Structure 1
């Protein structure tokens, strides 16, 4: 038969098991088909009809089509600024980090022993930010500058000495998107946002903190020393949003008294990407180290006393404190922070200063050349941004600029010009030509070359930076490409990623991030667009966003999506705020009770608290399901004030709960709305949907179900889908309107969140199609049930559905091993010796492992993982029988590094082979942890969150 109609299906590349393997697993489970397995797993009342999506494209066809979409974007020279700038991403970083699955498929470094490379890169990021801002404590990135500013407001509000003070005094010269997000986050807590051209006279008794932009949104640079000192005397703290690149030349805020400095590291080699993703930073004083939001990478030692790194203090704080958490942050922007840190390593202190100085010099050149044409420039002091008064000529100037492929920032009768790393001398001449024509002059009337030879200083002498930065050897050793390449690879080699093995984390869905999905992300027509570019330059993005919106709405059963939330937890918060706006529109703004099952993700109660809601916990029964009777009782009890239910489906326990429709109906009967946590959407796609089940709003973790990679802890995307009645209330944006007049204020800085990575789920859906997506869900459920069947004789499986099936994940009970001194952490560390990342440890049940294989893993890989866990169970059995010592055994000493195994002084009561090569496959494919078990408590007792000097390493080892 002819093959002329044959086309390879991407689905066959995405799904791991071959047809014969599927048959073998089905036979092992005792079912005849995937359909029979699904009938036993997914309750019949919630199964939906087939998805209606376009026919799937091959990888070649998709890349051709998305290239055509990208060509519709017009990439003009951007001088818009406002927190977003063109950059030069060094090729060695683009190829070996940004485009490298060894970096972008890593998981969040909760298992420190197999994450030392990314931990070091993130420690470099913290050191870079600490040096540049002049503050001691820095986290390992936040989502964007606007939400980082909101976190600063919230932290300082909680820490305020005067508990009656509720006003956050914000400079009127602030980026508009930041002000927008501050309004959103302030609302639930009754914090008043007061804007002013701040002076000492504004420091009233009701002010708990002030917020400054440095340089200001207009580009002006001011000396804030006296203002900050006056505020401090009154017990008022200061937060500053600072341009990281400018701090190479300007006195850092930490040196003039700021308590918190936030900002964006985008200028350090991260493309604009139409708004993101970019790694925000958060730096503060040592006094706030127990309150700082997000993750901190800290220095400690391992079991051999060697230098080691780990996440300290704030490791998933929301899972411990839940509704009492100070933040709902879960995802960071780790990959982008890593890129920014490598940018600083590559350029070093002198290189960064050269880039900053060149930006400033070109800005001074533009200033003096345009003023020579007769224009008035309003910023007496500046770093990279000029503000010209153009009066009624603004429209004419804009037209002339567009004719020359230039974008400026226009506001009333003023035009702003922000210079960046990519600006050239020729660009300045073109800008001068545009301004000259509006005056009816010839650009040659201004001798730009002569002006360049006689530039004057535009930074006041008392604001010129005097202190050193980036002094650590790591920033002064790798400036040739060969040295930089080797440094990057040396760190990559320390980390386990999906390049090495499956990462079976429950609720985290570590599936294939296909190369074809990733390729367009680095194209200039997606990466080089400013988020505030004129809409007629962004029609490619608009098409992509519109298509993705329609497809995700079909998949979820909702009316419309908002892409603005740039993490899952941000999606939770946004969804609850949308519900609140809807209730207020109906005169029911008093509703403030949020029901949350005891099994919920920790971000759920934290997000509810941030939205100003009171959390009421609903019990779970002995099978781990929502106790329907208790839910009905709580709904009845709080009927007058019921705001919402937050429910994860399938449950966090890995079960399709039968009464979910009844649960949703109960909430609606009492006037509440149903928020569905989309963390487990990988078990729903094509089989059921939140909208079909009865939810009103749901966030999607695009970095889970829809193939955006985890990136070592971010980027993520958490768009929300809503039912028709909630559409008018979706998040808006003050610069680029994306919703109606009833929409809530923004929840993130960019109009569409981390837009550039939305091409990844667009690619995934386009190449999988309706049937492919449904098949992927079925295979995910098959793979999970296969693992369950192989392991349940060795490890009790805590919960299952009515027919004994799990959804896409399961919980292995390891609590009984504690009777012989074996903790679940010992199993997690021992898995490293077998070449695997541990499943989710002690969540949602302490002392357990939550396993999720995803559809991308082959039967061979599933068997390898099961063989490892079964072998570990046999090792535990030796402890149980007393054949090996309960305190000194292969589990307690895990993981075993190569250094330990080859040490001449081996004195352990088991062989080196048992330590390093317990199963045969390891002899051909061994991943070595680079440090032994890290000392967690030491790292918390003595927090070191920046690169210590070289001599400190010797002290640590001593």
Structure 2
């Protein structure tokens, strides 16, 4: 190499930048793909797609891209500003040991964290089995008949229990009783949710509930002060009045005390965090809801059920259409969409690993440490409340003096008031720590073993658990690390995640979740911080949150951001609450109309309904755009009542609509606010800013655009970004002032995964974020262009181009051949692909979003599969393949079917298994054949499959 041709140091460093790793196509591939669709450069393509009226004139005011080594060093410096004290604060959050086999093989394993929501049952059997384990765990411990596959956190789960009780009880009252013993953050959530729905909260002592005319009550068992009360008589009294009993509880405590279902509870909620999931400054953690069988069709969130596949083999699937917002839309009572699957999987495997005996052993040790500490304090004249599991309510002391001593010992306790504190022990507590804790109050423990022997349990005798739980073999088999490791590998091998293949889901942005972005999540400086730790100990989190908020402000063009919402639907809700509070602050509380295009995601109308707004649906034109004239007519018609419009941009149909600025002007002219759903921000970062073209508020999906992995259906983060006039109406934090209450149980939602998005933005820099958006546009248009001779793209924008996704219309093919979009989706499994989004936003279509992370090689592999499938459809058209007995109608094909002694189909086994030659070298075999959805809904089973079912299948 001559001196003249040697690359410069700057060029060498550029090619070492992370953005070259994140963006799939290299420069040569980008040039080829641009040539294929007829554009000279990424900038020229961007100009051809994005309306000039919204394009940003200046580049993002963010630093330049950095290397992974530099970014890790920067976030290490931030993490080191946190101080990890021993936290015995409790209030719903407890220290826990994450078994290393679970840490490495689930939380840190891309086979689990890069998977998508299990809408395609056949390629999700592994994570759904783990979720069935979770449901069984929650149902068994609570004594309920059915449990869901997780909710966002305990506070929002309690709010969901309130609305479930309202629509399921026989009472006509609008009053909901809340015990003073619930956690403070739960009460905050209930207040936020109740008021827009016209629900009156009555907060009082438990004794008040029996005589109150209420549609439901919420009790905490054990309560926030640690006390365990017998609620059987109270439950009977509530039921006699037609109300329902909801209970917030602690799963570990339920291994030792009577299950709520045994004394009359109807709905039970709680948090599974202490089953192996770190504090994480408040999240993500998997909440749960369990209830009586009578309410299963009204239960919010996702529910895994058992059906059978085409061969009669048991198979898991999402059941009961429980994402009700997609069906009931503006009539929905819940906007829940995201679950907390990754965390639910961790909690379920914690139970699998320890088994019932191990859980009882852990719980008993925690209780014994608590009882010993209580005895030591009482011996020193300190008053401790009676009847507890793990939390001591210490009263009659100088709380601030005690807290000062504790801080000096690097210990956090809970300040309840000036004369009382709470001490919550957990499985991480040690005998030595109990001695130190006692010493804070002037009590000494000379011989802890002797004190243990002399101290009785503090559990009420009448409420000790006698019933068994977790008797299924899965909870009694995998107790050695080797066995659990193999079980986890077996489950992961059944699934398709991003570590195996492209997941071309439209509207869901399944992009690279880089390893460097994930590394800080499990650092103790982020993971081991209690959400209510003093601010002096959380300066690293403050720096991280402030920095990420500033990054998001710059990317969106808004003025302020709240990171509290822990899902996209929560972000929607927060944004609409801000709009509602803004109108009220101006004396315009009567503004209650929310315009929503008929193509909108189902959470939009559900969120508006939850805010007490009246939804008016507006039309979509033949090109997939919102109908501006229909918006204008409705804005004029409801001018005095217009609160907002909710619109997705680019549109749900994958198009940059030309009139977005005009729409904003129309709404503002009639006194309304513009809410832009940020689901498709992936097509805007570095190119256009909604806050600059007239939008007032957006939620963002950090689990989409900003690289937080989907985790099989959660966690998510849905920050709410607003213009300055709405900033005062963002959700407040616990105990703070503000017109809008909390929308999540933790002040900063799922804080422990915020480092992922911070790392992404830092690694990519201004130039990298813009290029990522441009390549997302390029990849989608490359797919649409190459598939154009085979499938019609339903909607196109300016210059015959799409945005970051394209909708393939299979309806004409079904009319001609009987082959449906679902058949194509299932056949893609035989090619080793997760299906695109099926029948949303238009029935009978597939929506494809390739994202910027997919290389040309992977795009071509998907395109080749789609072309091969089109040829199979053509063979049906031409009569070469039977209309009913063809590889599409019977897809996917399992190894068992292909290798069986009998083959009854008219097409060859080879076509079934290896439709492309490359599949002979690398083949994914689905664990089950096509799952029977109808059977599953008619024969509902949502717990672990009896072992006999497998034997019957094997013998058949």
User: TM-score, normalized by length of structure 2?
Assistant: 0.98
The residue aligned with 1:385 is 391
The residue aligned with 1:148 is 157
Partner deviation per Cα, 1:843-884 (whole Å, 9 max, x = no partner): 000000000000000000000000000110000011111221
The residue aligned with 1:405 is 410
Q: CA deviation at 1:194?
A: 0.6
Q: CA deviation at 1:956?
A: 6.5
- For residue 769 of structure 2, the aligned residue among 753, 766, 773 is 773
Supply the distance in 1 between the matched residues of 2:297 and 2:914 (Cα, whole angstroms). 41
State whether structure 2 residue 182 is matched by structure 1 residue 185: no
The residue aligned with 1:33 is 41
CA contact 1:568–1:701 (8 Å) conserved in 2:
yes
CA contact 2:177–2:209 (8 Å) conserved in 1:
no
Supply the distance in 2 between the matched residues of 1:462 and 1:607 (Cα, whole angstroms). 43
State whether structure 2 residue 864 is matched by structure 1 residue 857: no
The residue aligned with 2:351 is 344
State whether structure 2 residue 135 is matched by structure 1 residue 126: yes
Supply the distance in 1 between the matched residues of 2:747 and 2:822 (Cα, whole angstroms). 42
Q: CA deviation at 1:201?
A: 6.3
Partner deviation per Cα, 1:579-603 (whole Å, 9 max, x = no partner): 1011100000111100001111111
Supply the distance in 1 between the matched residues of 2:734 and 2:901 (Cα, whole angstroms). 66
Matches of residues 363-512 of structure 1 in structure 2 within 5 Å?
A: 363-377=370-384, 379-391=385-397, 393-412=398-417, 413-436=419-442, 443=444, 447-512=447-512
Supply the distance in 1 between the matched residues of 2:63 and 2:369 (Cα, whole angstroms). 49
- For residue 880 of structure 1, the aligned residue among 877, 881, 893 is 877
Supply the distance in 2 between the matched residues of 1:157 and 1:76 (Cα, whole angstroms). 42
The residue aligned with 1:592 is 592
Q: CA deviation at 1:794?
A: 0.6
Matches of residues 78-227 of structure 1 in structure 2 within 5 Å?
A: 78-163=87-172, 165-199=173-207, 202-205=210-213, 207-227=214-234
The residue aligned with 2:834 is 837
Partner deviation per Cα, 1:232-281 (whole Å, 9 max, x = no partner): 11211100000011000010101111000000000100001000000000
Q: CA deviation at 1:952?
A: 3.4
Supply the distance in 2 between the matched residues of 1:504 and 1:948 (Cα, whole angstroms). 32
Matches of residues 861-940 of structure 1 in structure 2 within 5 Å?
A: 861-940=858-937
Residue 441 of structure 2: SS of its match in structure 1? helix
The residue aligned with 1:787 is 783
Matches of residues 303-322 of structure 1 in structure 2 within 5 Å?
A: 303-322=310-329
Aligned length: 944
The residue aligned with 1:42 is 50
Supply the distance in 2 between the matched residues of 1:385 and 1:476 (Cα, whole angstroms). 29
Residue 45 of structure 1: SS of its match in structure 2? coil
CA contact 1:73–1:538 (8 Å) conserved in 2:
yes
Q: CA deviation at 1:948?
A: 2.8
Supply the distance in 2 between the matched residues of 1:208 and 1:195 (Cα, whole angstroms). 14
Supply the distance in 1 between the matched residues of 2:209 and 2:45 (Cα, whole angstroms). 71
CA contact 2:836–2:846 (8 Å) conserved in 1:
yes
- For residue 332 of structure 2, the aligned residue among 325, 329, 351 is 325
CA contact 1:16–1:855 (8 Å) conserved in 2:
yes
Evaluate the alpha carbon distance shift between residue 208 and residue 573 of structure 1 in structure 2; reply closer, same or farther with a 3 A threshold: same
The residue aligned with 1:811 is 807
CA contact 2:216–2:245 (8 Å) conserved in 1:
yes
The residue aligned with 2:939 is 942
Supply the distance in 2 between the matched residues of 1:950 and 1:399 (Cα, whole angstroms). 55
- For residue 247 of structure 2, the aligned residue among 212, 236, 240 is 240
CA contact 1:177–1:733 (8 Å) conserved in 2:
no
Supply the distance in 2 between the matched residues of 1:921 and 1:759 (Cα, whole angstroms). 38
The residue aligned with 2:3 is none
The residue aligned with 2:82 is 73
Supply the distance in 2 between the matched residues of 1:802 and 1:96 (Cα, whole angstroms). 46
Matches of residues 2-17 of structure 1 in structure 2 within 5 Å?
A: 6-7=12-13, 8-17=16-25
Partner deviation per Cα, 1:494-534 (whole Å, 9 max, x = no partner): 00000111000000000000000000000111000000000
CA contact 1:322–1:605 (8 Å) conserved in 2:
yes
Q: CA deviation at 1:106?
A: 0.3
CA contact 2:210–2:238 (8 Å) conserved in 1:
no
**Which stretches in structure 1 are left out of the alignment for 5+ residues?**
none
CA contact 1:25–1:782 (8 Å) conserved in 2:
yes
Q: CA deviation at 1:2?
A: 7.3
State whether structure 2 residue 27 is matched by structure 1 residue 19: yes
Supply the distance in 1 between the matched residues of 2:78 and 2:383 (Cα, whole angstroms). 41
**Which stretches in structure 2 are left out of the alignment for 5+ residues?**
1-5
Q: CA deviation at 1:202?
A: 4.6
Partner deviation per Cα, 1:147-183 (whole Å, 9 max, x = no partner): 00000100111122132x0100010111000000001
Q: CA deviation at 1:449?
A: 3.7
CA contact 2:297–2:322 (8 Å) conserved in 1:
no
CA contact 2:406–2:412 (8 Å) conserved in 1:
yes
Residue 453 of structure 1: SS of its match in structure 2? helix
CA contact 1:840–1:851 (8 Å) conserved in 2:
yes
Evaluate the alpha carbon distance shift between residue 902 and residue 201 of structure 1 in structure 2; reply closer, same or farther with a 3 A threshold: closer
- For residue 764 of structure 1, the aligned residue among 741, 760, 766 is 760
Residue 44 of structure 1: SS of its match in structure 2? coil
CA contact 2:171–2:241 (8 Å) conserved in 1:
no
Q: CA deviation at 1:3?
A: 6.2
Q: CA deviation at 1:733?
A: 2.4
The residue aligned with 2:844 is 847
Q: CA deviation at 1:318?
A: 1.6
Supply the distance in 1 between the matched residues of 2:324 and 2:821 (Cα, whole angstroms). 20
Q: CA deviation at 1:447?
A: 4.2
User: TM-score, normalized by length of structure 1?
Assistant: 0.97
Evaluate the alpha carbon distance shift between residue 630 and residue 383 of structure 1 in structure 2; reply closer, same or farther with a 3 A threshold: same
* Runs of 4 or more above 3 Å deviation: 1-6, 446-449, 952-958
The residue aligned with 1:729 is 729
Supply the distance in 1 between the matched residues of 2:448 and 2:133 (Cα, whole angstroms). 40
Evaluate the alpha carbon distance shift between residue 447 and residue 390 of structure 1 in structure 2; reply closer, same or farther with a 3 A threshold: farther
Supply the distance in 2 between the matched residues of 1:522 and 1:552 (Cα, whole angstroms). 23
State whether structure 2 residue 714 is matched by structure 1 residue 714: yes
Q: CA deviation at 1:4?
A: 5.4
Supply the distance in 2 between the matched residues of 1:352 and 1:115 (Cα, whole angstroms). 28
Residue 194 of structure 1: SS of its match in structure 2? strand
Supply the distance in 2 between the matched residues of 1:622 and 1:4 (Cα, whole angstroms). 53
Matches of residues 251-270 of structure 1 in structure 2 within 5 Å?
A: 251-270=258-277
Q: CA deviation at 1:933?
A: 0.2
CA contact 2:138–2:290 (8 Å) conserved in 1:
yes
Supply the distance in 1 between the matched residues of 2:495 and 2:622 (Cα, whole angstroms). 39
Supply the distance in 1 between the matched residues of 2:867 and 2:915 (Cα, whole angstroms). 11
Supply the distance in 2 between the matched residues of 1:743 and 1:765 (Cα, whole angstroms). 32
Supply the distance in 2 between the matched residues of 1:742 and 1:359 (Cα, whole angstroms). 38
Q: CA deviation at 1:911?
A: 1.2
Evaluate the alpha carbon distance shift between residue 2 and residue 614 of structure 1 in structure 2; reply closer, same or farther with a 3 A threshold: closer
With 903-912 and 74-83 compared, the bigger mean Cα shift is at 903-912
CA contact 2:566–2:716 (8 Å) conserved in 1:
yes
Q: CA deviation at 1:349?
A: 0.4
CA contact 2:807–2:845 (8 Å) conserved in 1:
yes
Supply the distance in 1 between the matched residues of 2:512 and 2:465 (Cα, whole angstroms). 46
Supply the distance in 2 between the matched residues of 1:824 and 1:55 (Cα, whole angstroms). 43
CA contact 1:16–1:858 (8 Å) conserved in 2:
yes
CA contact 2:88–2:423 (8 Å) conserved in 1:
yes
Partner deviation per Cα, 1:915-948 (whole Å, 9 max, x = no partner): 0111122111111111000010111111100013
C-alpha RMSD of the superposition: 1.2
